[in-house]
Structure 1
Amino acid sequence: MESSPPPTFRELLVVFARIGCLSFGGPAGQIGLMHREIVEDRRWIEESAYLRALNFCHLLPGPEAQQLATWIGWRLHGVAGGLAAGLLFVIPGALVMLLLSLFYAMATGQAWVAALFLGIKVAVLAVVVQALLRIARRALDTALKRVLACASFAALFFFALPFPVIVLGAGVVGIFAARLWPHALGRHMPGPDAPERRPLAAGISLTLRTLATGLVLWGAPMLVILLVLGPDHVLWNIGAFFAKLAVVTFGGAYAVLSYMAQQAVQVHGWLGAREMADGLGLAETTPGPLIMVTQFVGTIAAWRAPEPFSPLLAGIIGAALTTWMTFVPCFLWIFTFAPWMERLENVRWLQSGLAALTAAVVGVIANLSLWFALHVLFTRVAEVRSGPLHLSIPEWASLDWRAAGLALLGAVLLFRARWPVWAVLGVCAACGLVLRSVA
């Protein structure tokens, strides 16, 4: 199938505005939507190029669907096209998430809101378990991958090791495995590394300028906060945390949620475990990347420590700062490394490290599933420490029968009836309100 002529810039804007408003369903649905719109219907990009770009985006930290949208824009209209496509993919969901987060902050404490989010949280639990099973079936096709998944789960759940350590450790194992056991991570790894080719000096210079410009833009808000508010203000802590998060978010949104929840709830104390589950529920109901849940955390954290601003203004600033620190690196990675895409795809050790990391992500998502289950189904969860062990143990008498019943309903609708996520969320939310009225 031959490609169509490149679109005009206006056509690109119209199509990605549509994609940004309809990109529900998580990364799989978003990638499928772009494939239909860009490759199948309009033939602006060839199938092989689209798949190579998707593989390349899996190598990068951050949401792969948003980075793929940025790459499509860059491929069709350079940097301006990349900025337009990437922003239009994010902005609709960011605006909706901001409004929902502010509403949540204002309405916290009202009984009907708690009942509504009870249903949403248990539906999200079923969605996370579905993601775990789907990724595990695809990723754990060798014994070494299954070992890495179990090891990452144990490291998180039993020892509370930092997520970046697990990511780096899995990558190192994959790199060494590529040398020692060539087929331990699957039989579809690239062949031996291609001979080194020295890039053109002009290409290196352009890459370095792009990287330097992007880093300056990324850090500019943090410099303003440092000079105006100082390093002890909550906005500085928010910016620093999400800047670190942006460079370790390999494996998609579900992989990093465990680390974010651990830090935001247990370390920073910005919100509670059940509120973290509420935020994920809101992110599931909005278009755009699921990692937009970071904006919810930034909004609530700034709302609750607003000085010298009003809570509303602080919440908006916190949301904007979080979104900036989360998504600017996505543009930076694409504009810096896309020109070298084919070279990176053929580096054997890099692909092996990514395969090992993907296997470890299964264990990370399993930990997230169990963490959500404990804090959604039980009202009291004890944190027990004994030497290096760090366990979360529920008090069985605190089991919430309403949450357990709704969780079972959500699982049946999602796994047996195969309802779409948005329908399961809506039904469980409505049932939560009904249970409140009955109670």
Structure 2
Amino acid sequence: MKDITLYFLKLGTLGFGGPVALVGYMHRDLVEQKKWLTEEEYKEGLALAQLAPGPLAAQLGIYIGFVHNGLIGAILTGLAFVLPSFIMVVLLGIIYQLYSGLFWMRDVFYGVGAAVIGIITISAYKLTLKSVGKINLQAIGTNWLLWLFYLTAVIITVIMQKEQISLFIICGLIYMVVKAPPRWMKRPTTIPVVFLIAGIGFWQYSKDRLLELGLFFLKAGAFVFGSGLAIVPFLHSGVVEEHRWLSENQFLDAVAVAMITPGPVVITVGFIGYLVDGFAGASVAALATFLPCFLFTVLLAPFFKKIARNSSIKAFVEGITAAVIGALVGSVIIIAMRSIIDIPTGLIALGSGLALIYIKKIQEPHLIAIAAILGIFIKNILNA
């Protein structure tokens, strides 16, 4: 319990790159290197995390904690994973309010956003090989069907600009019927779904607005599926357009903060909450967003673990996993289209990916730091 809690504390502190990279790190560290999880357990957790609402990486971490140490493990891994980035975004919120905006943040994000593309592209590639497999034309089997699900999810995610939960379930059901059709398929069946430092405005809050914040972010946590990236359009429509809590530029800064800080991307809710209603707003926003995903994961995990040994359920999970990985790759493409805006950012992204492949000792935080410096340097030259 101590080792796995410390691992997620480290991942929450140093894990850059968003949901695709974070779930990739978990696979690399916990399945390949430490062997704390089997490949099957990892796939089960990834499938459950995608089926339940809420941020993908946080759910997978909570599931892994639950598999090892039950409810206490789920609580400890969830807190260890989320708390470091929550503290960081609150501190950045204090600085943001003190200095009336983070104009330098966009210069940093210019380079960091490009480096993140390189990092998550490598993670997505590794996840694809592990979960979907290599294309084997000689042994046709059902592998081609997983690739069909994968490519379909990539295309639909890019076109729709968000992940489709119905697609995952359909892919899972089709693969189950093809590979291991259960006897009960012909009968009507339902699948159960069961602090810190003081600063200006730190302790100031409005009770009415706090309640509004809580209800809004509870809805965001309960009804937005997929990676933390999927929550951004939902947050924009509510925070900027509906409630008008933040301006367009403030919201863009909030997304930038989420991308340059480690841990789950969805922790941007803490930064938004702080700008709207101080530390109380940050706490309520974060708690309301992560509570549904914690409850769904803990409630579903025992049931999901028990039935996952069934051959039909295994096929169902394999089909979902192929679509999930495809959707994650689609998310990479969407982010790339927004982050790779010119030749310098393209070169930074390419260089980051190649560095991870060929320079064995380099770590993701090193690349993020280098990219941030390059971003500031390049932007100052371009603006000169």
TM-score normalised to structure 2 length:
0.70
Aligned equivalent of 2:354, options 407, 412, 422: 412
- AA matched with 1:21: L
- AA matched with 1:404: G
Alpha-carbon distance, 1:169 to partner: 2.4
Bigger radius of gyration:
1
Alpha-carbon distance, 1:152 to partner: 2.1
- 2: CA distance, partners of 1:373 / 1:89: 26
Residue 18 (str. 1) matches residue 6 (str. 2)? yes
SS at match of 1:22: helix
Summarize the alignment of residues 314-353 of structure 1 with structure 2, pairs less than 5 Å apart.
Answer: 316-333=279-296, 335-340=298-303, 342-353=305-316
- 2: CA distance, partners of 1:406 / 1:161: 24
The equivalent of 1:168 in structure 2 is 166
Aligned equivalent of 1:263, options 211, 234, 252: 234
Residue 64 (str. 1) matches residue 64 (str. 2)? no
- 2: CA distance, partners of 1:99 / 1:325: 20
- Structure 1, residues 186-239: CA drift from partner, whole Å, max 9, x if none? xxxxx77699xxxxxxxxxxx99xx7xxxxxxxxxxxxxxx94599x4553333
Taking a change above 3 Å as real, the CA distance of residues 116 and 86 of structure 1, as seen in their structure-2 partners, is: closer
- 2: CA distance, partners of 1:265 / 1:406: 28
Alpha-carbon distance, 1:80 to partner: 4.4
Aligned equivalent of 1:278, options 234, 244, 256: 256
- Structure 1, residues 385-439: CA drift from partner, whole Å, max 9, x if none? xxxxxxxxxxxxxxx4443343343233233435321111111111122224444
Question: Residues 44 and 308 of structure 2 are in contact (CA less than 8 Å); yes or no, is this contact kept in structure 1?
Answer: yes
Alpha-carbon distance, 1:354 to partner: 2.3
- 2: CA distance, partners of 1:375 / 1:126: 14
The equivalent of 1:244 in structure 2 is 223
Alpha-carbon distance, 1:241 to partner: 1.6
- AA matched with 1:262: P
- 1: CA distance, partners of 2:313 / 2:94: 41
Question: Residues 150 and 323 of structure 2 are in contact (CA less than 8 Å); yes or no, is this contact kept in structure 1?
Answer: yes
Question: Residues 58 and 64 of structure 1 are in contact (CA less than 8 Å); yes or no, is this contact kept in structure 2?
Answer: yes
- 2: CA distance, partners of 1:70 / 1:373: 34
Summarize the alignment of residues 20-169 of structure 1 with structure 2, pairs less than 5 Å apart.
Answer: 20-23=8-11, 24-25=14-15, 26-30=22-26, 53-61=41-49, 62=56, 63-74=59-70, 79-80=71-72, 82-103=74-95, 109-141=101-133, 142-158=143-159, 160=160, 163=163, 166-169=164-167
Question: Residues 70 and 82 of structure 1 are in contact (CA less than 8 Å); yes or no, is this contact kept in structure 2?
Answer: yes
Taking a change above 3 Å as real, the CA distance of residues 322 and 429 of structure 1, as seen in their structure-2 partners, is: same
The equivalent of 2:175 in structure 1 is 177
- Structure 1, residues 89-113: CA drift from partner, whole Å, max 9, x if none? 4323432343245545665755533
- Structure 1, residues 106-143: CA drift from partner, whole Å, max 9, x if none? 65755533222212111111122222212222233321
- 2: CA distance, partners of 1:373 / 1:84: 33
- 1: CA distance, partners of 2:154 / 2:24: 24
The equivalent of 1:9 in structure 2 is none
Q: Percent identity?
A: 15
- Structure 1, residues 62-110: CA drift from partner, whole Å, max 9, x if none? 4312321243232xxxx44543454334323432343245545665755
- Number of positions where the alignment pairs a residue of Structure 1 with one of Structure 2: 331
- 2: CA distance, partners of 1:404 / 1:274: 21
Summarize the alignment of residues 416-431 of structure 1 with structure 2, pairs less than 5 Å apart.
Answer: 416-418=358-360, 419-431=362-374
**Structure 1, unpaired ranges of 5+:** 1-11, 41-46, 183-190, 196-206, 212-226, 379-399
Taking a change above 3 Å as real, the CA distance of residues 268 and 65 of structure 1, as seen in their structure-2 partners, is: same
- AA matched with 2:259: G
Question: Residues 273 and 284 of structure 2 are in contact (CA less than 8 Å); yes or no, is this contact kept in structure 1?
Answer: no
- 1: CA distance, partners of 2:42 / 2:237: 35
SS at match of 1:404: helix
- AA matched with 1:144: L
Taking a change above 3 Å as real, the CA distance of residues 154 and 107 of structure 1, as seen in their structure-2 partners, is: farther
TM-score normalised to structure 1 length:
0.62
- 1: CA distance, partners of 2:379 / 2:337: 21
- 1: CA distance, partners of 2:45 / 2:68: 11
**Structure 2, unpaired ranges of 5+:** 16-21, 50-55, 134-142, 185-191, 195-206, 241-245
Question: Residues 122 and 407 of structure 1 are in contact (CA less than 8 Å); yes or no, is this contact kept in structure 2?
Answer: yes
Higher RCO (CA < 8 A, seq sep 6+): 2
Taking a change above 3 Å as real, the CA distance of residues 338 and 114 of structure 1, as seen in their structure-2 partners, is: closer
Aligned equivalent of 2:267, options 290, 295, 298: 295
Alpha-carbon distance, 1:347 to partner: 3.1
- AA matched with 2:268: F
Taking a change above 3 Å as real, the CA distance of residues 128 and 83 of structure 1, as seen in their structure-2 partners, is: closer
SS at match of 1:150: helix
- Structure 1, residues 22-50: CA drift from partner, whole Å, max 9, x if none? 2244234446656799x88xxxxxx6x86
Taking a change above 3 Å as real, the CA distance of residues 140 and 81 of structure 1, as seen in their structure-2 partners, is: closer
- Structure 1, residues 292-338: CA drift from partner, whole Å, max 9, x if none? 221214522662xx3xx4xxx1xx34432343234334543454345
Taking a change above 3 Å as real, the CA distance of residues 115 and 59 of structure 1, as seen in their structure-2 partners, is: closer
Question: Residues 24 and 124 of structure 2 are in contact (CA less than 8 Å); yes or no, is this contact kept in structure 1?
Answer: no
SS at match of 2:336: helix
Aligned equivalent of 2:318, options 332, 335, 355: 355
